[in-house]
Amino acid sequence: MHLKRSLALATVAAALLVACGDDTSASDDPPSSGEREAASGPEAIVSLSPTATEMLFAIGAGDQVVAVDDQSDHPDDVPTTDLSGYEPNVEAIATYEPDLVVASDLPEDITAGLEALDIEVLSIATATTLDDTYAQLADLGAATGHEEEAEELAATMRSDIDELVATVPDRDVAPTYYHELDPTLYTATSDTFIGEIYSLAGLENVADPADPDGSLGGYPQIAPEFLADADPDYVFLADGECCGEDADTFAARPGFADLTAVAEEHIVLLDEDVASRWGPRVVELLETIIDATAPA
């Protein structure tokens, strides 16, 4: 299974758990910490979360980041290594002599191991709302000495999102959509972070009846017959890079050729990194969705 598809499904699995209840570096030798004492924040940060990496650089803490995990790829100049956020290794992380490790949902033993080495750990959980994003920006700003920059970024995001929402046409009936996480028809309902973004674009989620009480964490797997009956106006594919999906492969699936979204060529291929992260580029994602559905 392609790694990005595995990571997408791992996100789904993590959400379901919440609802229900040896790495080596690919970069040069790490800098020596000596007796580092940052005047206004940590001098050596390791990020094990692609979203956290984007946030750190966006608030001006990029110069403090000495290493990021193997999935962090934005912005272009991030110090990517072989470190894994999904299978973290205390010894490999400690090689970079960090003051601070930022990660999403680290196992307790890894957190304990890092803290035993006097390395601070800041956990940022998978966001379920935009407010979570703003709160995490504030936490990262406070932890890195960039409170003002984090506050300004959050304010800019709010303003940009408000401006985009103001461009959504008034409609008597909301267009419907389906958001695909992978070809086995895992999707996301309105009660998720990505669902909130679509709601801001004035769209109705056909997957909501598949998890009406939230027992599936907002990430149900639907049947092809369910999707055919729902017949969405738009289909958004977040599995192009991981799984080779596009408008043609989607339309070629049994029973999908007659879907409204297929017939009207309303199949939108998303940047799956942007669509799976809850950092500053959610503004870009919202703009893509609004632009794609403007003719509706």
The gap between the terminal CA atoms of the chain, to the nearest Å, is 36
Dihedrals φ, ψ of 235, to 5°?
A: -125, 130
Burial of 42 (0-12, 13-18, 19+ CB in 10 A): buried
86 alpha-carbon distance from chain centroid: 14
Q: How far apart are CA 137 and CA 205, in angstroms?
A: 28
pLDDT at residue 204, rounded to an integer: 98
pLDDT at residue 125, rounded to an integer: 93
Q: How far apart are CA 102 and CA 111, in angstroms?
A: 10
pLDDT at residue 296, rounded to an integer: 80
State if pTM tops 0.75. Answer: yes
- One-letter identity of residue 138: A
pLDDT at residue 41, rounded to an integer: 87
pLDDT at residue 26, rounded to an integer: 37
**CATH of region 24-35+42-160, choose from 3.40.640.10, 3.65.10.10, 3.40.50.80, 3.40.50.1980:** 3.40.50.1980
Which pLDDT tens digits describe the chain residue by residue (296 residues)?
Answer: 444 554 555 455 444 443 433 343 334 454 433 344 344 789 999 999 999 999 999 999 999 999 999 999 999 999 999 999 999 999 999 999 999 999 998 999 999 999 999 999 999 999 999 999 999 999 999 999 999 999 999 999 999 999 999 999 999 999 999 999 999 999 999 999 999 999 999 999 999 999 999 999 999 999 999 999 999 999 999 999 999 999 999 999 999 999 999 999 999 999 999 999 999 999 999 999 999 999 88
Domain-by-domain residue ranges, the chain? 24-35+42-160, 176-293
Q: How far apart are CA 93 and CA 30, in angstroms?
A: 10
Residue 66 tokens read as 């000495």
Of 103, 112, 89, 191, which Cα lies nearest the Cα of 139?
Answer: 103
pLDDT at residue 4, rounded to an integer: 52
CA distances, 143 to each of 22, 39, 120, 288, 296 (Å): 28, 12, 10, 32, 44
- Asked, colleague to colleague, whether 24-35+42-160 and 176-293 share their fold, the answer is yes
pLDDT at residue 279, rounded to an integer: 96
CA atoms within 13 A on the CB side of 181: 25
The fold of 176-293 is Rossmann fold (3.40.50)
